[in-house]
Chain A
Amino acid sequence: MGYLADSFISAVGMIFSFNREVQLAVWTSLYTSSCSIALAALLGIPAGLWLGTRQFRGRRLMITLLNTLMALPTVVVGLVLFGLFSRQGPLGSLGLLFTPLAMIAGQTVLATPIVANYVLSAVSGSDRRILDTALTLGATHIQACTQLLKEIRFGVMAAVIAGFGRVIAEVGVAMMLGGNIRGTTRTMTTAIALETSKGEFAFGLSLGIVLLAVALLVNLFLNFLQQR
């Protein structure tokens, strides 16, 4: 049991000692995850609204596909984007591989289906009359959707929180597209993987506890936004 207790004590020490390496990893995790969840929200919320409010042929198939995309393994996203961003790949000249931007791209791909799905189910669970009333009163489809969005804002927030949880906790994309470069693309999760490979289990677990503490702060912040 000594090992678990040691990890916890050193995690507390780590939070208050402001270790530079840990700070950088926390920062990298936070900003790549924040950027990717912002992009995923921009793409996923309209997609969820569109699927939830429009009737068209192939809609059920699209919803099934969207559900399947939620099961995308992170290494598969990593592999596909690795092929795109590598110097040999179609986007190679941009030199994006092993930069934070590549990680943001990969994490956006992971989070978008989650956000879209949560928004879709929030729309399905909402009162159908909101949309109909707005449309009857002469609103355009976009105006009606804006009204609907206000009604389902808690569901939308849940979508963002779920997406954020997936990207800050994932390790496959960050490792493959970021390369775990110290000070640049080393996130909390890739740092944990590295410490594990070095046999520093207690240090790795401490980093895990720090990551959870950071996630808690972010959720408290989102909660605060929601209450206002």
Chain B
Amino acid sequence: MQKKYLATLVLSCFLIGQAGMAFATEHLRLATTTSTENSGLLAELLPPFEAANNCKVDVIAVGTGKAIKLGETGDVDVILVHARSKEDKFVADGFGVGRRDVMYNDFVVLGPASDPAGIKGETDVATAMGKIAAAKATFVSRGDDSGTHTREKQLWKAAGVTPAGEWYLEAGRGMGEVIIMADERQGYTLSDRATYLAFKEKKTSLVIAVEGDKRMFNPYGVIMVNPKQHPHVQVELAQKFIDFLTSDAGKALISGYHRSGAQLFYIQ
């Protein structure tokens, strides 16, 4: 009986020790959007950086809105997001410093092959959004304050439409889930091209209805959380990370990343 308790005690100590181990190496906390994580880009970018600097990058993949919030509260060291208006506000309010452009891709309007709103091939995205609303064709919105959601709201505004009604579904979920929902409901949605390409392989039957409008340009920026606001920010490591992303080596990795034969992100 005594032995059993001793064994349990030793086991508990070992387990708690394991939990402490997580603090041993240097950690950089990166809050980013689901698109960079779900598209597989970060799995390509981070290992070389981690090996060169003997550190570990802890990725917290959330929507842009939440990533910025985590930066404001100082719970991360650096953010990689895509909503220029929110990024500028983040820097102007003193929460972030040294914003740099990293890469870009574009948004696309996805829809079912049957195209109930008749927008296939439309080059003006605002007109297309207007037609979706007029036809009351199902549209699945991210509804989660992400970068994609922010852009979607701007596009509705450009179309002069306040989306509401049974056809407009606010999912409150990530890009991948919303593509799946739109597919199941045979509706339209706005997606970044990288996530769509990752899903196109076999996971969705949706096709691109509208692309190429310059209002669908989607730039990504990297910003360090202001160490003056939050003194615990890993300034040195965060700066190294920003330098790496914008270095020639980083750019080569980003533009060299392909999925099913297509390039996902481009360099300015």
* Chain A residue, CB-CB nearest to B203: A199
**Per-residue A-contact encoding for B13-36, CB less than 8 Å = 1, 0 else:** 001101100110000010000100
Contacts of B124 in A (CB 8 A): none
Q: Tell me whether B58 is interfacial, beta carbon within 8 Å.
A: yes
Q: Chain A's nearest CB lies how many Å from the CB of B84?
A: 25
Contacts of A228 in B (CB 8 A): 4
Stretch at the interface among A97-105, A125-133, A212-220: A97-105
The answer, among A32, A87, A92, A197, for a CB contact under 8 Å with B19, is A32
Q: Chain B's nearest CB lies how many Å from the CB of A80?
A: 15
Q: Tell me whether A69 is interfacial, beta carbon within 8 Å.
A: no
Q: Tell me whether A72 is interfacial, beta carbon within 8 Å.
A: no
Other 4 A-B pairs with CB < 8 A, given A100-B19, A197-B176: A34-B15, A38-B12, A99-B22, A199-B203
Q: Tell me whether B174 is interfacial, beta carbon within 8 Å.
A: yes
CB–CB B34/A197 < 8 A: yes
* Chain B residue, CB-CB nearest to A103: B19
Contacts of B75 in A (CB 8 A): 86-87, 97-98
Contacts of B230 in A (CB 8 A): 87
* Chain B residue, CB-CB nearest to A101: B19
Stretch at the interface among A11-19, A136-144, A166-174, A181-189: A181-189
* Chain A residue, CB-CB nearest to B27: A184
How far does the alpha carbon of A200 sit from the alpha carbon of B201 in the complex, in Å?
A: 12
Contacts of A225 in B (CB 8 A): 4
- Please tell me the number of chain A residues within 8 Å of chain B, measured between CB atoms: 29
- Please tell me the number of chain B residues within 8 Å of chain A, measured between CB atoms: 32
Contacts of B61 in A (CB 8 A): 180
Q: Tell me whether B239 is interfacial, beta carbon within 8 Å.
A: no
Q: Tell me whether A95 is interfacial, beta carbon within 8 Å.
A: yes
Q: Given that A31-B18, A199-B199 are contacting pairs, would A98 and B58 also be in contact in the complex, using a CB cutoff of 8 Å?
A: yes
CB–CB B176/A87 < 8 A: no
Q: Given that A181-B58, A181-B60 are contacting pairs, would A87 and B73 also be in contact in the complex, using a CB cutoff of 8 Å?
A: yes
Q: Tell me whether B205 is interfacial, beta carbon within 8 Å.
A: no
**A residues 16-63 with Cβ under 8 Å of B?**
31-32, 34-35, 38
**Per-residue B-contact encoding for A61-85, CB less than 8 Å = 1, 0 else:** 0000000000000000000000000
How far does the alpha carbon of A88 sit from the alpha carbon of B230 in the complex, in Å?
A: 10
CB–CB A181/B59 < 8 A: yes
